Each structure stands twice: as C-alpha cells, then as structure tokens.
Structure 1
Amino acid sequence: MSVRHAFVIHEQPPSIVLDDGERPRELSPLWLRERTQAPDQLEPMTQQRLFDSHAIDAALTLESATPIDEHHATLAFSDGHRETYDLRRLAAELDGTTRFPAAEPWDASLDQAHVRFDWRRVLEEPNVFRTSLEAYLRYGYLILHGVPTDPERILQVGGHYGYVKETNFGRYFEVYSRPSGNDLAYRSVALGPHTDNPYRNPVPGIQLLHCLVNETRGGLSTLVDSLKVLERLREETPEGYALLKTLPVRFRFIDAGTELVTHRTMIQSDDDGHPTGVHYSPRLDALPLLCDAQTRLFHRARQRLGELFSDPAYQVRFALEAGELMLFDNSRVLHGRTGYDANEGHRHLQGCYLDTDGPRERFASLLKHRDSIEEVA
C-alpha cells in the first residue's frame, strides 16, 4: 500500500516540510539540491547528473522557497542554483512504488498454467514475453515448452531473458549420469531441494535447466518456494529463524582443480530485512562455531527448514520432458530431483546461469516500449 506524501512550503524561514500522516519532517537542503530536475543538471535520456553531487558544500542552505501552485515550488540555494521543482516527482520517489510485480509466495497448490509458456510465442510475441517475465518476477520460476533440443539452444533462451554467467563449469554445463562427475548432479541419485553454488561470490542469480532427452521414468524435477517455507519457519521458531538470518555459515566446493569457499547467512534478506531467498545445500555447508545451546538451536532450525522444503504440501513435482526448460531464481526457488535408473534409457539436460537483474531489465524495457507506443497513439 502506497503512502500519500504532501509537502508544506514555508517561506520564512524557507523550508519544505514532508507530511506523510505521521510526524512532519523538514527536508534537508542537501537532499533537495541533489534531486534537481533542471535540464542543464541532468542528462535527458539517462537522467544521470551532469555534476558531482558529492562535491556540494555540506553547509548548503535553502535561501528561498516560493510556492507556485499545488504541485510546484521555486527553490533557491546558497550555491546560486535556482529552479522550479515539480513536487509530484519528489512524492513519487518517496512513495517507493514500483511497476515490477511483487513476489507472491506459493505452495504445491499453485496453478501451473500461471508459469508455463510456449517458447516460440515468447520469442515472437512481445506481449507473451512480457507476461512470462511478469510470471517469473511474481513466482520466481517459469517453464517453457517447445524449446528445440539442438546443442547450445539454452544459450539463446538465456540471452533472451538476461545475461549468461560463465563459471568454472563453462557457459553451460551438461547434466547426465557420470559416475566420476565432480558433482552429485552428474549421478543418478536423488537430489534434495537446494540452491546451486552457495560457495560462489556472487551466487548465480538464476538457473536454467533444459531437457534434451528423457527416457527414464524417474528423475522428476522438484521446486519449492523458500518464501512460503520461511513464513512457516518464522512462526514455528522465531529464535532459530533469527539465527539462520544473521549468522554466516561456511560453504565450500572442492574438486580436483578447484576450491571455492565463502561465508554467508542461510536466509538471504534485502536492505529492509525482508527475506528474499536462502542459501541452502546440506552437502556443502558447515555449522558456525557457537555455544552448545545456540548450536543446537541453529541445527534444529536448519533441520526444520530441510523438512519443510521436502514437504509435499510446499513442493511441486513434475517430469521435465524433452523440449522443456525451467528457469528459476536460484536463491528463492530451490530445486531438486528424484532418483532414476540410468539403465532405463538416456537422460540428458543442459544448464546455465544468468545474472539476477536480467529479467527485471527486460521487463522494464518492454514497459518503456509499450509506454512509448501509447504516447504516440
């Protein structure tokens, strides 16, 4: 819910007071000066400043404030700058609203029609592409069908949704049964819900998995929304939840030629403290050094987290067939796989990673393009 911001202009002494329905606050002249709207102060297309705002005199004062009408006021500063501000633009910035869809936690009851799309239509129809991006931003994953199964097609799909991230596995990686593989994903064993590469800094933001061949009855893909599970964990054990959110653990990956180690919290949060996902991989983490009581509390919390991730009430489970591709937020949506018998037939997937901001950038670009068409019309 957005907050309505109103501004009260005082001419003597000059000031602008913000009234958001709570405690009125006087806006700093520095804050106002930095938010100049003058054409000679901002580059028109990018809205980047044409001056160094860090060099503004810290002793800057507001010399005059003159209301023009309900939405405009002329401000003059001690550095000689004078301009008429559109107060609605200041209010919009303070409002904090966004055109990006908000994340919607989900469980096993989610209607899969919301997240399934025809790749050919995504590629050819901007409206369908935009709808798929909206679904991803809302639910944290989507499934594309009709994706050709020729080699490296995954890079085309990845490039359509964002920017492919190269790692020690390459630009993309192959997933099929390899007894000597350097990761359990290359075996036919079951894989519990997890996030990929929590030992890497930064952690890959988005993962794609494209099925080229699937001749087995097992190997079902599983997905679970950590945001929904974390709601339950916080209700059940607020103290344990707080530990997982604040105390870093060590994640480590080792193979014949690589060792990667980092420390991060199991629950990932934004700047406001709201959870955005997890770093979760029981094969790769290590308990932090705490007193015995806290160690047990921490362990019980992560144990319960794992139980909830595997609970059928939260988990969607499906066969990823040849020509299907799933794209998911690597921190928000945990993925796994049931075991399968490699003797039944061939099973071959390809995977790659994208940077987190790709889909948001694509979505914003499509909105700007749509707005431009509507303005011309």
Structure 2
Amino acid sequence: MTNAIPSSPALTADEITYEIRHGRDAQNPQVFARINGELKHLPALWLRERAQSNDQINEINRQRLFNPHQLPLVLKLIKVKWCGDDQKQLMILFSDGYEGAYNIEKLNHDLLPTQPLPIRKLWKSDLSYIPTYSWLELKDPHVTLAAVMDYLQFGFLIVSDTPLEKDSILKVGRHFGFIYSTNFGDYFEISSRPNSNDLAYSSVALTPHTDNPYREPAPGIQLLQCLLNETMGGLSTLVDSMACAEVLKQETPDGFKLLAEIPVKFEFNDAEESLSMLRPILALDAKGDMLGLHYSPRLDKLPLLEEQILQNYHHARNILAQLLLDPTFQITLRLKPGQCILFDNCRVLHGRTSFD
C-alpha cells in the first residue's frame, strides 16, 4: 500500500492574526491576516462581501440581503479600528458608505481551508488491510463514522452479516445515504439472462470498469451484495484507479493530459432507454487534481480527431488499460452470502471473473 502525499497540517483559528496598516498621514488603511506565518492582504471587496451586520445578512439563515455582484468596481477602506474590550472585532468604514463590525472568528472561517477529508490511501494487490465491518456493529454511530473514514481513504469497504432478504441492499444503502433510482430500478439482481440489455446479466467475465458513465451524474457509492453464491467463478475484482493514474502520469504526462481534456461519448441503448454523455475519461478538479475517472471499454466511442492526436490519445488509453488489467493493481474477492461491497464508482473500478 502506498500513501498519497500528505497534505499540510490542518490550520487552526489560533494561527491566524490580524494587522491594520496605514499609509502616510494615517490614510488608506489596509487589513492583513497572517495565516500560518504568511502575511496576506485582505482586499476591500473581499471584506465588503463578508459584511456581517443584520441589515446585510439574514440573522436566521445567514444568507445575504444584498447582491455583492453589484458592489462598486473601485472599493476602498476609509477607516479601520479595533473595537470591543477583547479586540475580537474590526469596525470598518468602506468607500460605498457601509460601516459595520467584523467578528474575526467569522472571518477565520473563510480564511481556514475547507475541512480536510482523510488523505486517500492508494493501494495495489498487496493491500493487507481490507476495511470490513459487521452490519450489526454499524448501528453504533462511532462504528459508522470509522467505516466512512475508511471508505474515504480506500474508496471501498465490505459490510458483512447483512440481511439476506431480496431488497435488503436498500437498507444497507440508506444507512450511508439516499438511493438513486435509475432505468434499472432502485436495485437489480445479477444473474445470467438470455437476450439481456446489459452484459452484467450474462456469465461472461467483466474487465475493470465504472458503472453508468453515460449518466449524469454518474453513480457515486455503488453496492454489490451477495445473497447466494453457488457458482464456479464469479470472483469480484477491484482496482484503485488513483494508483494506476499516478503511474500513467509518470509514464506519459502528455497522455494523461489528453485523457483529462478530450471528451469521449459513452452510450447506452435498449428498447426503452437511450442515454449518452460526453466526458473525459479522467476527471480533475479545478486545481488539476484527480477526482476519479469514467471508464467502460464496452460503452465508449473514440472522438473524431486529427490522426496524430488520435494516435496519441489511443496510446495513452492503451497504457491506462494495461495498468487497470495488471494483476499488480487488482484485488480479488469471493463474496459470501451476507457480504456487501460499497465502493466509490468514480475511483474504484470493479469487475468479475466469468462464472458457471
């Protein structure tokens, strides 16, 4: 198991201090915040948007009573001073005429980073810790919290001892969130069926993939529950796409970029439904960090590109495919009745071996 690069230690409000500075003749005041040792200027517009008085903010729901998009283009601070015996508030007069008190604890909220999630732990086939929890134990909120923390770190977890009733998977799902109904219903049973509308209903092997990339939004938490297993084969496989993507980015940064920028068409069609979605295989956030991927070789179609770009794109896609199929990155499980896998459909790819 390899760990992602740890983020910097969580910042606390105690590590934020404020300074008021003036120009010559005590004019042109400015407010600065020292955050984790780094001094940052707080522009007048940034402060004005965060007005805290009751004539600017609804006291109950804390929503604005003014439109900050219509504030003057040129906005300045006219006067700034500390107020209150504990000096926990700044009184600020702006050039648009507004004057109000600013509680620095509320300003701290906007200066602190978003509450960090647990650091993702990237894994391969040698993963020694399989996060597993008993359904009965999950009645304890503390156990549920521990399970969720594991899910956020590893992208999956196993719940054992779940009820074996036909629709009990819904009970498990609702314990962690809400059920998203699709054209397949609230849930569907996997068994071999002739002339089915999806290969999932056949006995063939399924290579690692994400479900429903043709749907917006794509499913988030997926559940696979075993009620009965008397077949030969049918082993479940899981792959951490984050671990594979790190290798892909190292081997071909340009290829990684192509897979993150060029949208492909994912499509599903049967007698009653037609669904399609254009999206890149790799999903990145606004900072360029990987969120996950949308991947299903049974459902995607190459975009029409210039031949050289198409070849470069296919080369990157081919490397990714080899990584996802490499046993080094796969863990294989044989689910027993009552076991249920929860996994992040946009991070952990799932598949299965053929069964009889």
Both proteins in one fold, TM over 0.5: yes
- Alignment TM class, shorter chain as reference: 0.7 to 0.9
Q: How far apart are residue 38 of structure 1 and its match?
A: 3.9
After TM superposition, the score normalised by the length of structure 1 is: 0.83
Aligned pair partner of 2:212 in 197, 200, 207: 197
2:179 aligned with 1:164, yes or no? yes
Residue 118 in structure 1 maps to residue 137 in structure 2: no
- Shift in Å, 1:250: 1.0
Equivalent-residue separation in structure 2 for 1:94 and 1:296 (angstroms): 45
Q: Given the alignment, which residue of 76, 99, 102 partners 1:85? A: 102
What does the per-residue CA deviation read over 1:29-58, in whole Å, with 9 as the maximum and x for residues that have no partner? 221122234466545665433444444444
Matched with 2:5 is none
Structure 2 counterpart of 1:17: 32
The range that moved more, 86-95 or 319-328, is: 86-95
Q: How many Å separate the matches in 1 of 2:62 and 2:337? A: 46
40 and 99 in structure 1: CA distance in 2 versus 1, 3 angstrom threshold = farther
- Measured in 2, the distance between the counterparts of 1:157 and 1:242 equals 38
Q: In the alignment, does 2:132 pair up with 1:101?
A: no
How many equivalent residue pairs? 339
Q: Distance in 1 between matches of 2:208 and 2:60?
A: 44
Give CA deviations for 1:134-176 in whole Å, capped at 9, x if unaligned. Answer: 1111111111001001021111111111111111111111211
Structure 1 CA distance for aligned equivalents of residues 121 and 55 of structure 2: 42
Identity %: 43
Structure 2 residue ranges without an equivalent (≥5): 1-7
* Structure-to-structure mapping, 1:296-315, within 5 angstroms: 296-315=311-330
Q: Return the alpha-carbon distance in structure 2 between the equivalents of residues 150 and 130 of structure 1.
A: 25
Within the alignment, does 1:76 sit opposite 2:93 as a pair? yes
* Letter of the 1:338 counterpart: T
The answer (yes or no) to whether the contact 1:10–1:65 under 8 Å persists in 2 is no
Residue 23 of structure 1 and its aligned partner are, at CA, apart by 8.5
Scaled by the length of structure 2, the TM-score of the pair is 0.87
Name the SS of the counterpart of 2:223 in structure 1: strand
Over the aligned positions, Cα root-mean-square deviation in angstroms equals 2.4
Relative to structure 1, the CA distance from residue 298 to residue 34 in structure 2 (aligned partners, 3 Å threshold; closer, same or farther) is: same
The one of the two structures with greater contact order (alpha-carbon pairs below 8 A, sep at least 6) is 1
SS state at 1:308 partner:
helix
The alpha-carbon deviation at position 182 of structure 1 amounts to 0.5
Cα distance in 1 for partners of 2:313, 2:199 equals 26
| CA distance in 2: counterparts of 1:196 and 1:310, whole angstroms | 17
Letter in 2 for 1:64: K
User: 5+ unaligned residues in a row in structure 1: which ranges?
Assistant: 342-377
1:126 to partner: Cα distance: 0.6
